[in-house]
Amino acid sequence: MPKNNKKALGKERLIWMYTQMLRIREFEERVKRTFVEHPGVIRGHTHLADGAEASIVGALATRDESDLAMPSYRCHGYPIVLGTSVKKMMAEIYGRKDGLCQGFGGSMHLADPAHHFPGTSGIIGQAIAHATGAALAAQVKKSGQVIYCFFGDGASKQGAFYESLNMAAVWKLPIVYILENNQYQVYTRVELEDANAAAGDPLSQKAQAFSIPGLTVDGTDPLKVYEAVGKAVKRARAGLGPSLIESKFYRFSAHGNAITVPPVPTQFPEHEAIETYGRKAEYAAARARDPILLFRKKLKSKGVLSESAAKQIEDSVRAELEQAVQFALASPFPSPEEATKYVYA
Amino acid sequence: MPSEMMYAQAMATAITEEMTRDSSVIFYGQNLGMTDRDPLVRKFGKSRVRITPISETAEMGIAVGAAMNGLRPVVELWMSEFMLVAMGQLLNEAPRLRYMSGGQIKVPLVFKAGYGFAAGWAGQHSNCIYHTMMGIPGLKVALPSTPADAKGLMAASIRDDNPVMYLHHYMTMLDKGPVPDGDYVIPFGVADVKRAGSDVTLVATGWMVTKSLAAAETLAKEGISVEVIDPRTIAPLDVDTIVQSVKKTGRLVLVDQAPRHASVSAIIAGEIAEHGFHHLKAPVKMVTALDTSIPYSEPLEKYVLPSEEKIVQAVKSVLGK
C-alpha cells in the first residue's frame, strides 16, 4: 500500500487518498456485516463513518507526522488513515485480547497514541476540550504539532464547544476544528436543533462568535477538504490560532446499531432519513453522491486511476479487511481478572 | 529544617517548587496571573501560568487533553462547587480515558479547589462534595488538614500520573504550622495519626481534624484518651490504619463536615462493619452535618455543622458516659 509520505498531491498521493477512503468504507461495511454474520459478537453501541471518507482523508492528508487526530466516538475512520492496524481495531470492536485497547474500550473508545491518535470520548462534545488541551500542550512545549479536532454537528451545541473555541482563540492555539455536518444529530435533523441551520445559514458561521476564520466546504470532495483544512493548518502552525471548518457530507448509516436489551439481537436499522422522516428521495440523492464514487470517477477522468488499478486496490482492500475480521474472530477474549488493570497509572 | 508557614502558603510553595522542578507543570485558572507583576508569571512566564475565562468545562477538559499530550496541568478552580458545572470532565472523562485505552495513555493533572467555607457563604459555596469523587476508579482525592500535609500532598498530586482532586479547606487556610523545607512528598493512601490515644478512635478530614484535636484535648482533661486519625487522602483510603486503631481502642467516632449519606464517614463505617466489627465494643458513631443545605445566618450554620461539643458528646456516648 502506498505510504503517507508526501504532501504534494501527485498521482501516488491521490491514489493513496483513494485507497484510504476505500479502506475506511470496507472497514465500516465489515463492522456492519458482523451484526448479521456474527450476531452478538459486537456489544454496546457502534457508530460508522461511511459517507465521511472524503472528509476524513482530505483533512488528514494535510498533516505532519507528529500532528494529533482527536475525534469523537465515531472514530473508526481516522486511525485507519494514521496507520493503525485494522486487525487490532477489529479485534477491539469484537472485545478481544488482541484489540487495540485489549478489549477495555470497544468501538467508541479506540486509542492508538503510538500512531498520533491519543483517544476518544463517548460523550458528545467533551473531546473538543481535550483536543484544545492537546493544542495547549503543543503550544507550551513548542512541539510544532497541530491538533485536528473532529466532531459532529450535534456536538457544536455543547458548552464544551463554545468554551473551548473561545479559549483556543484567546490563546491562539494550534488547532483546527473540523465540524463534520452529516445532517443528523443522532436521530434529529440538523435544522431542528441548530440555529444557523434553522435560518438556512452555514454552521461555520459560529466561527464569527470567536473572531476566527470559518469556512464551509463540500465534504464529499477530498481535494476541497484538503485545500480548506490545509490552509487552516498552515495558519495554526504559524501561531495565528484556530479555524473552524464545516465539512458537509451525508452519513450513510444510521446513527448507530439499534439499542436493544439482551438477548434481543441488535443490528443497524435503516437510516433515520427513511426510518423516521420518510425521506427516501433525500437518502437516494445522497447515495448517488457517494464520495468514493465521485472521487473514483474524478481520478479515472484525470487518468490517475486505471480500471485495472482500481480493481487491484479494491481486491487488496477487501482481502485486508477479510483478514482483519478473521484475525478478530480468532483472537481470544481477555482474562476476566485483567479487568482491574489500568485503573491507575 | 521545617519552616513555620500558613496552610495557603504551604500549598503555593509546593506549586512553585514543582513548577521549578518540572517544566511540564503548568498552572491556570480564573483571575490568576492577571498582570506581569504576578510572582508566578514573573517566575515561570505567561505560557505556563495562564488566566482563563469562567469556563469550567473547558478549563477541566483542556487539562485532560494537555495531560494526554505530555503536560502536568494544575487547574485552580477556587471552589469545589464550580466543578459541579463540569462533572462530566471530572468523573467521566479524566479518570476513564486511561482505562478505556487499555493503559496506553496517562492523564496526570490536578484539579485544585477549596471547600467547606463555613463563614456565611450559604447554600452553594460551602459544601463538602468530596464523597461524590471517592468512588470513581481512576480518580484520586486529597484532603489536607495541616500546612505540612498541604505541601506534601500538593507535591504528590502534581507528581502523580493520575487525575487528582486536591481539595483544600477554606477554614484552615490561615492555620500556621511547621512545614518541611525542600522535597517533601506525602504518599497517597497513607493515613496520619494526628494524636495517639487508647480509649476511642476518632477519624476526621480537613477542618474536622482541627475540631477533633480540640475535642481530644478537652477529653484528655477528663481522663479520656482519644486517638485522632486523618486519612489525608480518601481515594485511595487507608482502611488498615483505622482498623488497627479500632483493634486497640474498640470504639470509633467518625467526624465529617459533609451530610451524613454523602460523607466519607459512611464509607469508613461500612469498611469497619466488614473488617473491624469483631473489635468493636460499642456501635460506631457518626458526627456529620445535618441533612440540610448550608444556611447563611451564623446560628443556623453552626447548628448544622459538627462542632467540638458534638464530637465530645459522641466520644462520651460510645464510652457509655
Cβ separation of B102 and A131 shorter than 8 Å?
no
Which alpha helices (H) appear in A172-247, and where do they start and end? 195-198, 222-237
The answer to whether residue B76 scores a pLDDT higher than 90 is yes
- Is residue A263 exposed (0-12), middle (13-18) or buried (19+ Cβ within 10 Å)? exposed
- Note whether A217 contacts B: Cβ–Cβ < 8 A: no
Which of A167, A177, A333 would you mutate first to test chain B, the one with the most B CBs within 10 A? A167
Asked if residue B114 lies in contact with residue B169, where contact means CB atoms within 8 angstroms, the answer is: yes
Whole-angstrom distance, CA of residue B281 vs CA of residue B269: 14
The interface predicted TM-score of the complex, written ipTM, equals: 0.96
Domains of chain A: 11-340 (3.40.50.970)
Identified catalytic residue from B125, B131, B168, B279: B125
At B129 the pLDDT is 94
AA letter at A28: E
Cβ–Cβ below 8 Å for B24 and A141: yes
Per-residue pLDDT, averaged over B248-261, amounts to 97
Taking CA atoms, B165 is separated from A48, A296, B88, B94, in Å, by: 36, 52, 14, 11
Smallest Cα distance from A293 to chain B, Å: 35
φ, ψ of residue B9 to 5 degrees: the values are -70, -35
A58/A292 Cα distance (integer angstroms): 12
Residues, chain A: 345
pLDDT at site B33: 87
Contact A113 B106 (CB under 8 A): no
- Go through the domains of chain B in sequence order and give each one's CATH number: 2-180 (3.40.50.970), 192-318 (3.40.50.920)
Whose cell is 517533601? That residue is: B184
By three-state DSSP, how is residue B52 classified?
strand
> Which A-chain residues 107-146 have CB contacts (< 8 A) with chain B?
109, 111-114, 118-119, 121, 123, 126-141, 143, 145
* Strands of chain A, DSSP E: 68-70, 147-152, 175-181, 184-185, 188-189, 214-218, 243-248
Residue in A130, A138, A345 closest to B98 by CB? A345
pLDDT of B73 higher than 90: yes
Whether B169 is a known active-site residue: answer no
Q: Check: CB of residue A180 under 8 Å from CB of residue A151.
A: yes
Span B3-14, pLDDT tens digits? 999 999 999 999
pLDDT in tens, chain A (345 residues): 444 444 569 999 999 999 999 999 999 999 999 999 999 999 999 999 999 999 999 999 999 999 999 999 999 999 999 999 999 999 999 999 999 999 999 999 999 999 999 999 999 999 999 999 999 999 999 999 999 999 999 999 999 999 999 999 999 999 999 999 999 999 999 999 999 999 999 999 999 999 999 999 999 999 999 999 999 999 999 999 999 999 999 999 999 999 999 889 899 999 999 999 999 999 999 999 999 999 999 999 999 999 999 999 999 999 999 999 999 999 999 999 999 999 999
**pLDDT at residue B1 tops 90:** no
- Measured between CB atoms, does A89 come within 8 Å of chain B? no
How far apart are alpha carbons A146 and A172 in whole angstroms? 12
> What residue of B is the nearest CA neighbor of A102?
B102
Cα–Cα distance, A4 to A79 (Å, whole number)? 13
Bridge partners for A24 per DSSP: none
- Decide if pLDDT at B72 tops 70: yes
Q: Could you report the per-residue pLDDT of B263-309, keeping only the tens digit for each? A: 999 999 999 999 999 999 999 999 999 999 999 999 999 999 999 99
User: What is the DSSP track for A127-177?
Assistant: HHHHHHHHHHHHHHHT----EEEEEETGGGGSHHHHHHHHHHHHHT-SEEE
pLDDT given at position A7: 55
pLDDT, tens digit (0-9, with 9 covering 90-100), for B169-213:
999 999 999 999 999 999 999 999 999 999 999 999 999 999 999
What is the reported pLDDT for B19? 98
All three cell numbers of B200, joined, read 476511642
